[in-house]
Amino acid sequence: MEQQQYVLEMHGITKEFPGVKALDDVTLKVEPGKVHALMGENGAGKSTLMKCLFGIYKPDAGRIVYQGREVRFQSSMEALRGGISMIHQELQPEPHLTVMENLWMGRLPKRGFMVDYRAMYQNTVAELGRLKLDYDPKALVKTLSVSQIQCLEIAKAVSNNANVIIMDEPTSSLTETEVEYLFGIIEDLRRQGIAIIYISHKMNEIMRIADSVSIMRDGRMIGTWPTSELTIDTIISKMVGRELTEYYPQKTNVPGEVRLRVEDFTSIHPKSFRHVNFELRRGEILGVAGLVGAQRTELFEGIYGIRSHRAGRILLDGQEIRIHHPTDAIRQKIALLTEDRKRSGIFPALGVGENIYLRQYREASRFGKINYRKCNRIASEGVKRFRVKTPGLKTPISSLSGGNQQKVLLARWLMTDPDILILDEPTRGIDVGAKYEIYTFIAGLAAEGKSVIMISSELNELLGMADRIMVMCDGRKTGELTRGEFSEEAVMQLATQFE
């Protein structure tokens, strides 16, 4: 029997939502045993196309051919049983269940009518071992870090014995070591004849791992090419429809006097941040670098009042302030953009407008009555300023791309006119075009005299955006670098100074 050239074919897929055509006559063909990259700006339609395949959305037109026969999965569970797995861009664990319960959710091993916990434990150890993940199968998922949860999602997808695995930004929260583990698993899957649809904005990963690249723009498929025929510059040009000659905006800000000083800041937890000292100047972008586990996020959540500290003090414009709760920080005109949009950023059941003006209900209220006209005006200004792609203010934010969700969160905070912005992984999971827009916003804020703290795992963006870089390792500040001292080697040397 002649072997099928393609394990998956999607022909003429069209999908419309109220006010927007998300997919317009899209065709995609995937070969077995190949890594097929799917690229495009946020909102280009990549995730929507995969959700049509996975049974989450129903296409309005088109057909799907899988393993030589036409299919239309009615649910994600049906797609899983058919041999298609998907690792979603936004993590979707059940935090109050254990690692092994999350891994086998919907397919728990049974002994008669009862769940076979011994078999589930043994199967979990085996699957985690394939990814070299040393997790306790009985640990609650809420105790895991973002990167550990990402690895668990990958293990769940791999454990399905799928013929096609969709990986939507699978390395967004992974360390370099964890990325290497993932690439090793991908190579094994490739040798087994399994097809990988790999969605990522990390160009170096695509050039290294993908056999071919399909590029989407504005809901249309621009084309498919062998990776060997492409360069990073040509990929970017095809994605955005224009040449991007500069990856970072020109710096025009001039740091001034010290605005924020943090002294001897120490967590109540002995393995978290300790004895941290730093300054932040007016009109400055302070980059914060470090490997996963460096306690960068924990430090700034402590400063913001989300986490408790046992020692240290915070001075704002020379005066000591006390922050015990995020409301205290907000009163001091300090804003925090969370690293995890889904879990602690967006309100998925609310519309775009409500997510923007959420922080300004009080200002838009009089005598206990909310002025929705004023709220909508605030939201409309935020959408316009940040070029949020949305059919309307009432559109559920959960239906937007990751990049547009991030713009909504930025709009929420900036419409409150803060003086200090703490941005934790502000461009995670965002395409190169949207990244440039966000970089431009950040540079503009610094030029206006705002003070910005930019925590990022992407070293290149810190080197391109920051005026100074503070480096952390294992809860400690290990050094600072000025722009004249910037280099990847210098940062990594400080980031690996373990005690």
Q: Which residue has the higher pLDDT, 420 or 405?
A: 420
Residue 191 has pLDDT above 70, yes or no: yes
pLDDT at 361: 52
Is there a single domain that holds both residue 231 and residue 266? no
Residue 104 has pLDDT above 70, yes or no: yes
Binned at pLDDT 50, 70 and 90, residue 366 comes out as low
Residue 411 has pLDDT above 90, yes or no: no
Residue 148 maps to which CATH number? 3.40.50.300
Contact 408, 354 (CB under 8 A): no
For 248, list phi and psi in degrees, rounded to 5. Answer: -130, 145
Residue 122 has pLDDT above 90, yes or no: yes
Residue 2 has pLDDT above 50, yes or no: no
Average pLDDT estimate for 348-364 = 71
Per residue in 142-179, pLDDT (tens digit) is 888 767 787 888 888 888 878 999 988 888 767 777 78
Residue 222 has pLDDT above 90, yes or no: yes
Q: Number of C-alpha atoms within 13 angstroms, CB side, residue 269? A: 11
Is there a single domain that holds both residue 80 and residue 174? yes
Cα separation, 284 vs 414, in Å, equals 17
Distance of CA 210 to the CA centre of its chain: 21
Per residue in 4-37, pLDDT (tens digit) is 689 999 999 999 887 678 899 999 999 999 999 9
pLDDT at 198: 95
Q: Any idea which of 311-325, 368-382, 385-399 has the lowest mean pLDDT?
A: 368-382
Q: Containing domain of residue 93, as a range?
A: 8-240
Q: Which residue has the higher pLDDT, 213 or 88?
A: 213
- The percentage of residues in the chain with a pLDDT greater than 70, rounded to a whole number, is 92
Which residues does residue 315 pair with via DSSP β-bridges, in sequence order? Answer: 261, 320
Is there a single domain that holds both residue 145 and residue 287? no
Contact 165, 196 (CB under 8 A): yes
Is there a single domain that holds both residue 120 and residue 181? yes
Total tally of structural domains belonging to the chain: 2
Asked whether residue 274 is domain-assigned, the answer is yes
Supply the pTM of this predicted model: 0.61
Distance of CA 481 to the CA centre of its chain: 27
Sign (positive or negative) of CA dihedral 191, 193, 199, 201:
positive
Q: What is the pLDDT of the chain when averaged over all its residues?
A: 87
What is the 8-class DSSP label of residue 478? Answer: E
Is there a single domain that holds both residue 151 and residue 99? yes
Q: Number of C-alpha atoms within 13 angstroms, CB side, residue 153? A: 27
Contact 409, 341 (CB under 8 A): yes
Asked whether residue 291 is domain-assigned, the answer is yes
Amino acid letter, 363: E
| Residue among 418, 461, 422, 455 at smallest CA distance from 440 | 461
Q: Number of C-alpha atoms within 13 angstroms, CB side, residue 434? A: 26
Is there a single domain that holds both residue 177 and residue 324? no
Asked whether residue 70 is domain-assigned, the answer is yes
Asked whether residue 413 is domain-assigned, the answer is no
Is there a single domain that holds both residue 44 and residue 153? yes
Q: Which residue has the higher pLDDT, 290 or 428?
A: 290
Domain end, chosen from 240, 269, 302, is at: 240
Residue 304 has pLDDT above 60, yes or no: yes
Average pLDDT estimate for 316-326 = 95
Average pLDDT estimate for 229-250 = 79
Is there a single domain that holds both residue 82 and residue 146? yes
pLDDT at 295: 93
Q: Using a CB cutoff of 8 Å and minimum separation of 24, what contacts does 71-78 make?
A: 77/106
Cα separation, 388 vs 444, in Å, equals 18
Ordered alpha helix ranges (H), 252-320: 296-304
Is there a single domain that holds both residue 92 and residue 204? yes
Neighbours of 490 (CB within 10 A): 15
Asked whether residue 314 is domain-assigned, the answer is yes
Tokens read off for 378? 């605030």
Per residue in 456-473, pLDDT (tens digit) is 988 888 999 999 999 999
Is there a single domain that holds both residue 199 and residue 270? no
Q: Which residue has the higher pLDDT, 403 or 476?
A: 476
Is there a single domain that holds both residue 185 and residue 324? no
Domain end, chosen from 179, 206, 240, is at: 240
Is there a single domain that holds both residue 93 and residue 188? yes
Asked whether residue 143 is domain-assigned, the answer is yes
**91: Cβ contacts below 8 Å, ≥ 6 apart:** 146, 149, 150, 153, 173, 340, 342, 343
What is the per-residue DSSP string for 206-224? HHHH-SEEEEEETTEEEEE
Contact 287, 465 (CB under 8 A): yes
Contact 188, 108 (CB under 8 A): no
Intra-chain end-to-end CA distance of the chain, in Å: 62
Tokens read off for 286? 């302070």
Domain end, chosen from 199, 214, 240, is at: 240
Cα separation, 366 vs 383, in Å, equals 24
Binned at pLDDT 50, 70 and 90, residue 362 comes out as low
Residue 245 has pLDDT above 70, yes or no: no
Which residues does residue 221 pair with via DSSP β-bridges, in sequence order? Answer: 216
Asked whether residue 206 is domain-assigned, the answer is yes
Asked whether residue 213 is domain-assigned, the answer is yes
